[in-house]
Structure 1
Amino acid sequence: MTGSLISADNSFGLVAAFLCAAAFGVWSEGTRLGKVLSGVILTIGAGALLSNLRILPFASTFHDLVWSYAVPLAIPLLLFKADLRRIIPETGRLLFAFALASVGTIAGAIAGFHLIDLGADGPKIAGTIGASWIGGSVNFAAVSQMLELKDGAVLGAMAASDNVGGTLFLTLLVLLPGSALIRRLFPSRVIDEAPVEDDAIEAQERNHFHIADLATALALSALCCFVGYVVAGLAGIPQFGVLFVTIAALALANFFPRRMHRLNGDFDLGMYFMYIFFAVVGAGADVLLMVQTALPIFAFTGVMAAVHLAFVLGGAKLFRIDLAEALIASNACALGPATAAAQAASQRWRTLVTPAVMFGVLGYAIANFIGVALAQFLG
């Protein structure tokens, strides 16, 4: 069966399904299973289950709308209380961790290329997926075009492997901080301090919740998106619109800190948008297509991801980088600003949300050059 129970053009069916998946993820945070696996993982799993059981399609206009609108709107909501006086001192370590993650991706792509037979297009495949794991899907499309990868079957297999591999990798990054062994090996001040601080903030927000705050926060978020994408378009770099959205949100947060701190519920609303995003991420993982057509490429992606993570964790241990910072740098590099910001927010590492976006965008900026150079080196 190639179709899905809820078709790609059934807008309200898709809205209902994804909002239910997001609501399930939020609800699951209070359950025993949710506390062990996290609501994020359960939301991704719910989306993947629904699509692979052919209840939901793997792609639709609604999927694109979530990427195009829900994620940009969520980012300012997550940043309206971002205090740069606390964030800037952290960026030096995160920059170093991001550099380690990028080098790890390059080393992993080289290792995967030599270990896995990718056929005649091997160098192009390695360069394209390597670029995607330093930037994102924008770089995947750009580098594949620059390298003249035109075989639809190969591109489909690459996209399937990249999507499924990215979903599994995100799951691993979210689960790692909950491992007792990992926590013993990699101490983390950010993880230790975040729950106490955020529980107090959340309790205060629940006690002073007003619909006017949500209306104001959402309006300001939309204004940030409007300004950000207009500026990016005028600058001739529309693909970096999220960077200017981030700058607009940070300007509000730091020029009007008292007024922004009086808003309540903005962070929670941003997280709700991110849960919808996680459901869409899960729903895009076509496991059967990957198994049928893309096993060698998936194996290559697995090797690359393993080497990448080894560099990140090894560097964190050697250079005493905070575990939370290392994982967010890894996420920003391998998966992009949206997932990195979402992980930082969902795991209550609020001071890392802004750097997650910034370094994710940095990955967009450098990945095309690295991907083409990698393909030429391997060719």
Structure 2
Amino acid sequence: MSYSIIQTDDIWILWAFLAGWAAVSIYLEQKYEWASKVSGAIIALVGAMLLANLNVIPLESPVYDTVWDYVVPLAIPLLLFQSNLLKIWKESRRLLLMFLLSAIGTVAGAVVGFYLLKDFIPGLDEITGMMTGSYIGGSVNLAALSARFETPSEMVSSVVVADNMMMALYFLILISISALPFFRKHFKTPHIDEVEQKDPNGKKNLAASYWKGKEISLQDIGLAVGSSFILVAISFTLADMFANLIPSGENVNFFLNMFNGLFGDHYLMLTTITVLAVTLFSGFFENINGAQEIGTYFIYIFFVVIGVPASLPLILQNAPLLFVLVFIMVGLNMVFSFTFGKLFRFNLEDVIVASNANIGGPTTAAAMAISKGWSKLVAPILIVGTLGYIIGNYIGSAIGYWFSTF
């Protein structure tokens, strides 16, 4: 365990940092134009990364585990309360297609990266499976697949470092692409054009405009948080029950393993139950004000936590070639995304948020859409990206098992 000014067991101090830095990231994003363009998510992640590398905060703590175990599950339902599946399907079929096409790039990157590096990185079959899931649904999938493959913790830490640093770099690239004349010349940009018509001088803080003050009551807060707790409790209880009832393991056939993974995974069950509840009882959930704001704040705390393990000395010592792997995977995702996007005449904004949702998950894609003022893409990319939790876990598991045979 490396030394840090704030110790692993300084529970309240670490909670103060996580909650406080998340708040500062949101404040900066909504107060300053430069921060709005970078996005609060990146500020949260990079700030934690710097403090961890300067040995101000520890690389591991029960506090971080609590965020993964409790804060993230509570955030997911809150962010989906406005996502009626039937409504989104009517409005977002093309965005879903773009997301799936982008995922093909991730799989291609996994295959190329594995064959190029399999003789140099121990346990690359599991790592590539983890990263495939992560780059089709975000860091939540990486956590789920690392537990499923029982990957050693030191290797998971190195993978998380490479993943976080690559994500931060790629998100900055995607943000820059939306302003480059080359891409605007070759793609339709209806959302960018709409923003420029409303704010021709580019002086309006788009994140602040999206998150402007809304009427919210104590009843809204109670219903939002209470409903989220109930959905998590039901989902996790059902997942545990199915995980115990459905056999799994090396001596069990493929279909039973598949059903165990489908019904026994906490996040898959939570996503399924929440989307089902919101679709069936859309009138109730859509009338709760403030759920998205509360859920987004929870996710900003998560952004801080995923920046913490990004220790540059750790990655340089343990697995420098992991950078090559994630670079290949993200690079091919980008190439496939923009190639398919051009071929099938998708809007530039659709390509950008779909690729972002693959690499970082629905929340980072929504945060980017908000920061750029593409408000009509926020709800669709949240639900489309959340589907990545499901398909990402399955594809990542399949890739890991396939590569383990080599």
TM-score by length of 2: 0.78
Say which SS state the counterpart of residue 365 (structure 1) adopts: helix
- The CA deviation at 1:2 is 2.2
Query: Is 1:360–2:401 an aligned residue pair?
Result: no
Is the CA contact 1:331–1:339 (under 8 Å) kept in the aligned structure 2?
Answer: yes
Query: Is 1:241–2:266 an aligned residue pair?
Result: yes
Query: Is 1:370–2:399 an aligned residue pair?
Result: yes
Q: Which residue of 1 aligns with 2:28?
A: 28
Is the deviation greater in 6-15 or in 98-107?
98-107
How does 1:331-346 map onto structure 2 within 5 Å? Answer: 331-336=356-361, 339=364
Say which SS state the counterpart of residue 359 (structure 1) adopts: helix
Say which SS state the counterpart of residue 321 (structure 1) adopts: coil
Q: Aligned equivalents of 2:396 and 2:312: distance in 1?
A: 26
Q: Aligned equivalents of 1:341 and 1:177: distance in 2?
A: 15
Say which SS state the counterpart of residue 36 (structure 1) adopts: helix
Number of equivalenced pairs? 371
Q: Which residue of 1 aligns with 2:292?
A: 267
Is the CA contact 1:341–1:357 (under 8 Å) kept in the aligned structure 2?
Answer: no
Q: Aligned equivalents of 1:251 and 1:341: distance in 2?
A: 21
Query: Is 1:317–2:342 an aligned residue pair?
Result: yes
Q: Aligned equivalents of 2:226 and 2:219: distance in 1?
A: 10
Is the CA contact 2:101–2:336 (under 8 Å) kept in the aligned structure 1?
Answer: yes
Say which SS state the counterpart of residue 21 (structure 1) adopts: helix
Q: Aligned equivalents of 2:365 and 2:389: distance in 1?
A: 7
Q: Aligned equivalents of 1:71 and 1:346: distance in 2?
A: 22
Structure 2 counterpart of 1:278, from 282, 291, 303: 303
Residue type of the alignment partner of 2:142: S
Say which SS state the counterpart of residue 235 (structure 1) adopts: helix
Q: Aligned equivalents of 2:169 and 2:208: distance in 1?
A: 29
Aligned pair in 2 of structure 1 residues 199, 158: CA closer, same or farther (>3 Å)? closer
Q: Which residue of 2 aligns with 1:294?
A: 319
Residue type of the alignment partner of 1:231: L
Is the deviation greater in 322-331 or in 187-196?
187-196
Is the CA contact 2:22–2:44 (under 8 Å) kept in the aligned structure 1?
Answer: yes
Q: Aligned equivalents of 1:198 and 1:155: distance in 2?
A: 33
Q: Which residue of 1 aligns with 2:250?
A: none
Q: Which residue of 2 aligns with 1:71?
A: 72
Say which SS state the counterpart of residue 35 (structure 1) adopts: helix
Residue type of the alignment partner of 1:279: V
- The CA deviation at 1:366 is 2.3
Say which SS state the counterpart of residue 9 (structure 1) adopts: coil
Q: Which residue of 2 aligns with 1:42?
A: 43
Say which SS state the counterpart of residue 265 (structure 2) adopts: helix
Is the CA contact 2:52–2:308 (under 8 Å) kept in the aligned structure 1?
Answer: yes
Identity %: 29
Query: Is 1:8–2:8 an aligned residue pair?
Result: yes
Q: Which residue of 2 aligns with 1:59?
A: 60
Q: Which residue of 2 aligns with 1:137?
A: 142
Q: Which residue of 1 aligns with 2:225?
A: 218
Q: Gaps (5+ residues) in structure 2?
A: 199-205, 244-260
**Structure 1 vs Structure 2 CA RMSD:** 3.4
Aligned pair in 2 of structure 1 residues 239, 19: CA closer, same or farther (>3 Å)? farther
Q: Aligned equivalents of 1:81 and 1:186: distance in 2?
A: 29
Is the CA contact 1:77–1:217 (under 8 Å) kept in the aligned structure 2?
Answer: yes
Deviations 1:155-191 (A, max 9, x none): 6544533343344445544554455654444334466
Aligned pair in 2 of structure 1 residues 353, 260: CA closer, same or farther (>3 Å)? same
Q: Aligned equivalents of 1:71 and 1:154: distance in 2?
A: 23
Is the CA contact 1:130–1:371 (under 8 Å) kept in the aligned structure 2?
Answer: no
TM-score by length of 1: 0.82
Q: Which residue of 2 aligns with 1:228?
A: 235
- The CA deviation at 1:19 is 1.1
Is the deviation greater in 359-368 or in 321-330?
321-330
